[in-house]
A and B are shown apart, each in its own frame.
Chain A
Amino acid sequence: ETGVTQTPRHLVMGMTNKKSLKCEQHLGHNAMYWYKQSAKKPLELMFVYSLEERVENNSVPSRFSPECPNSSHLFLHLHTLQPEDSALYLCASSQAEGTGPYEQYFGPGTRLTVT
């Protein structure tokens, strides 16, 4: 595997379900990001982990819970979501140290539909 991978690619869940999105980066980066992309809206930054510490929580509802067990893996745990949470969820990674800034590399996204 190369780059940034995300699973699943598509997810349909009911409002009472609990599910998790997974992201894995194979680039040796140490910062990882979750973005939400809704139709007709700009990309919204949700969470940032830098060196495995959460450094940004952009006023995201508590029904979204991130987890970063190591610098290569990032999860987004979902529970009791609302229909308006239906969107494309994108994961990205970049280098957190050095003479940056550095560009972010994105995964293909998880298309989430909440019914």
Chain B
Amino acid sequence: AQKVTQAQTEISVVEKEDVTLDCVYETRDTTYYLFWYKQPPSGELVFLIRRNSFDEQNEISGRYSWNFQKSTSSFNFTITASQVVDSAVYFCALRLFETSYDKVIFGPGTSLSVIP
């Protein structure tokens, strides 16, 4: 079965703390893509990163970093020195290759609250 699990439903941190959002996925495919999206209170999902299954290099973009480990089927997202503007719901997603279009399975999301 194709599935994305985000076990943390809600997380609260104090500003400037580091926080890691967990994502575990299930797929039988050897080729797949993973995504992270951010949904601020305004409602619009904002694309953050895409990673394919052949690229296990970790990525850093400013205060954001991603740790992809195929051995544990995880694609975790870390925010360093969190800020109030990071408060949002974060979704991890898995792209299936069974269709010609971008069929994506989203995880249930993790709601992050950064307290000033």
Contact = CB atoms under 8 A, between A and B. Distances in A.
A104 B104 contact: yes
A34 interface: no
A61 interface: no
Interface residues of B, number: 23
Nearest to A53: B101
A111 B43 contact: yes
A64 interface: no
Given A42-B109, A101-B95, A107 B102 contact: no
Contacts of A45: 103-104
Interface in A79-103: 88, 90, 92, 94, 96, 100-103
Contact of A100 (B37, B44, B47, B102): B102
Contacts of B100: 50, 55, 96
Contact of A43 (B50, B99, B103, B106): B106
A66 to B, nearest CB: 14
Contact of A50 (B95, B101, B104): B101
- Category for how many chain A residues contact B: 20 to 34
For the complex, would chain B's binding face be called helix, strand, loop or mixed by DSSP majority? loop
A41 B91 CA distance: 12
Interface in A54-74: 55-56
Contacts of A94: 101-102
29 contacts: A42-B108, A42-B109, A43-B91, A43-B106, A45-B103, A45-B104, A50-B100, A50-B101, A55-B99, A55-B101, A56-B103, A88-B43, A90-B43, A90-B45, A100-B102, A101-B97, A103-B47, A103-B50, A103-B102, A104-B45, A104-B47, A104-B102, A104-B104, A106-B45, A106-B46, A108-B42, A108-B43, A108-B44, A109-B43
